[in-house]
Structure 1
Amino acid sequence: MTAEQVEQVRRFNRTVAERVGVLHDHYLGAARPYGQARLLWQIGDGGTHDVRSVRDRLGLDSGYVSRLLRALERDGLVVVEPHPRDRRVRTVRLTSAGRTERARLDERSDALAASLLDPLDARQRDRLTAAMATVERLLTAAVVSLEVLDPDHPDAAHCLRAYATELARLFDGGFDPARSLLPDPGELRAPRGLFLVARLHGEPVGCAGLKLPAGAPAEIKRVWVRPDTRGLGLARRLLAELEERAARHGSELVRLDTNKALEAATRLYRDSGYTEVPAFNDEPYAHHWFEKRLTRHPRQDR
């Protein structure tokens, strides 16, 4: 990144903070600062929520969230209590007064959004909202984290189940994991491989595995991204991360296979520099086989 890019981001942040009123102690003219208002809105009126999931969604530390919740409790807007089946877990829900306050925040937020658009003509409004959608998408992509997990980790297992369910819907004749050349979990653990899981706001939204067999090319397996997070460039990021790790392991070649129904995946592989080659395995669900030469890096642990 360049210094000019960093400065542009900082200018953008200052402009947004000033224009939407987060610098004021009484956000949107209400009795509370922005942090409390945002937490109140996140809790929502959809029942009871795990405090940890709310905290993960907002990217806040537990101490700060606890202080915000205590302030909302004092004002009678939320109820925080232990989970009925696990008292180690705290839950939070809005009271009747909290739902009323949230509805008032929604009304005032709509009015603020309208005030941003009102001075602009129709063409400018379209440009602004389109630019906002792009910024939102890119900022969301920037907060996705990648972590190497054991294939038996609950988040990894969740991704693999979702992957198999989607293939069963897309493939002609469905998808039976028992027929596929699924890697043994041990092949996706160090030193024989690894399994990457992508998380957004604490939730697993994608995965990809890498086999690192001795004396053979590296192989990428089970690349999946949750449908509602596609368009963020996550599949490309997973692919690039596995290529980097394979190269650092000393691999000079990486391979993968895919089904004809996965047209977007096939385009991604071609666009990412993969060349179609003759079949190198007996995967019954594969119609295309690809490989890519890697730029070697000094071998090191990551």
Structure 2
Amino acid sequence: MKDKTKLIQDIREFNRFYTRLIGLLDGHLLDSNYSLAEARILYEIYTGRQISASQIVSTLSMDKGYVSRILKKFEKDGLISKENFSTDARVSLLALSEKGLKVFHTLNQASNNQVDTLITPLAITKQKELVMHMQEIMQILNGQQ
């Protein structure tokens, strides 16, 4: 039990380190007007091309009401467009507007720049090692090892 407590503490210490390192605790991600949740929803809409709100809720395991409030904000700000699904008028498919695409690309580039700044001081071998360990963590936590 003592060993497990230490493992849990170590994992939580890493989580605190990493969230602080990449600024996830800031109210606004990457010096933008958007939170992490908002940026992630923009990402899902971008990669999903046309995606429903319920798909976003399911993919991100987020509260339906919270996602709904964010989507209303996006709609008000002109970041998304809605189109009724052809076979079910109750379902709207979401897509990024031109303004939404601009915001997404700005956030995406800022995120890429942040990671580049983080890894540039490392030798290329250390960069590759870091990515390998990150992939291994994802495989372990996804139950693939």
Interval of TM-score (by shorter of Structure 1 and Structure 2): 0.7 to 0.9
Residues 49 and 126 of structure 1, relative CA distance in 2, 3 Å threshold? same
- More strand as a share of residues: 1
Identical columns (%): 28
Q: CA deviation at 1:96?
A: 0.8
Residues 134 and 45 of structure 1, relative CA distance in 2, 3 Å threshold? closer
Distance 2:24 2:81 in 1: 25
Aligned match of 1:64 in 38, 52, 66?
A: 66
Aligned match of 1:80 in 35, 58, 82?
A: 82
- More helix as a share of residues: 2
**Superposition map of 1:104-143 within 5 A:** 104-139=106-141, 141=142
Establish whether residue 21 from structure 1 lines up as the match of residue 23 from structure 2: yes
Distance 1:82 1:60 in 2: 23
Q: CA deviation at 1:89?
A: 2.0
**Deviations 1:126-157 (Å, cap 9, x if unpaired)?**
22111111122223x16xxxxxxxxxxxxxxx
Task: Give the structure with higher Rg (CA).
Answer: 1
User: CA contact under 8 A between 1:82 and 1:90: conserved in structure 2?
Assistant: yes
Q: CA deviation at 1:81?
A: 4.5
Distance 1:56 1:133 in 2: 23
**Superposition map of 1:153-164 within 5 A:** none
Task: Give the letter for the 2:95 counterpart.
Answer: R
Q: CA deviation at 1:75?
A: 1.4
Distance 2:33 2:59 in 1: 24
Q: CA deviation at 1:80?
A: 3.4
Question: Helix, strand or coil: the match of 1:128?
Answer: helix
User: CA contact under 8 A between 1:44 and 1:94: conserved in structure 2?
Assistant: yes
Structure 2 stretches lacking a partner, 5+ long? none
Aligned length: 143
TM-score, structure 1 length as denominator? Answer: 0.44
TM-score, structure 2 length as denominator? Answer: 0.88
Task: Give the letter for the 1:33 counterpart.
Answer: S
User: CA contact under 8 A between 1:45 and 1:99: conserved in structure 2?
Assistant: no
Q: CA deviation at 1:45?
A: 5.5
| RMSD (Å), alpha carbons | 1.8
Distance 1:41 1:21 in 2: 18
User: CA contact under 8 A between 2:53 and 2:68: conserved in structure 1?
Assistant: no
What is residue 36 of structure 1 aligned with on the other side? 38
Distance 1:72 1:22 in 2: 21
**Deviations 1:94-150 (Å, cap 9, x if unpaired)?**
1111111111112111101111101222232222111111122223x16xxxxxxxx
Task: Give the letter for the 2:105 counterpart.
Answer: A
**Superposition map of 1:1-302 within 5 A:** 2-44=4-46, 47-139=49-141, 141=142, 232-233=144-145
